[in-house]
Amino acid sequence: MNVGYVRVSTVEQNPDRQLEGLTRRAQLDKLFQDQASAGSTDRPGLDAALSFVRAGDVLHVHSIDRLARNLQDLQGIVQDLNGRGVAIVFNREGLTFEADEKGDPMGRLMLQMMGAFAEFERSLIRERQAEGIARAKAKGVYKGRKRQLTDDQVAEILERKEAGERVAALAREYGVSRTTVYTRLQEVGV
């Protein structure tokens, strides 16, 4: 079977470009998708794809950075798949890793280099983002995330909590977590 895996980082991103690249290369029998950051360990689509593939299958991925969080993760996934008799194809890089005993030394080197570059690029992005936030904070432009509960809502929650209502019920009513309620109550000195 030809199995595809697609991952986009945000809701705004569209997986169509990745899908187009995958379907140009092979007729997919099954497709798995995730909407998650590269650093996220919670990728149910990937977990399902890895559980689904069997010996003789080919897993098609748009590019190396769509599959793994870091070089170690990448190598582990590829070794696991190849060890189970599953080939993996990275379309953008033009790399294929067959499930054979010998392996291709040049292919393995390319996998490690490309994976290292992807990990390095991700680190640079995080660093630039942190620098940008620090500059914005220094200018007074960056205020952080908008509070989920207004001061009036916190005062109302406090009154109701003191009247005996449970925090869990109040949190559900306001559409926030209990941690958010406790954090905001702590900010006002409760």
Q: Answer whether 40's CB lies under 8 Å from 13's CB.
A: no
Does the annotation mark 51 as catalytic? no
Contacts of 74 (CB under 8 A, 6+ apart): 64, 67, 68, 111, 115, 118
Candidates 9, 51, 123, 177; catalytic one: 9
Picking from 93, 47, 39, 95, the residue whose alpha carbon sits closest to that of residue 70 is 39
CA distance 48 to 30: 11
Give long-range contacts, CB 8 A cutoff, 24+ apart: 127-130.
none
Residues labelled catalytic: 9
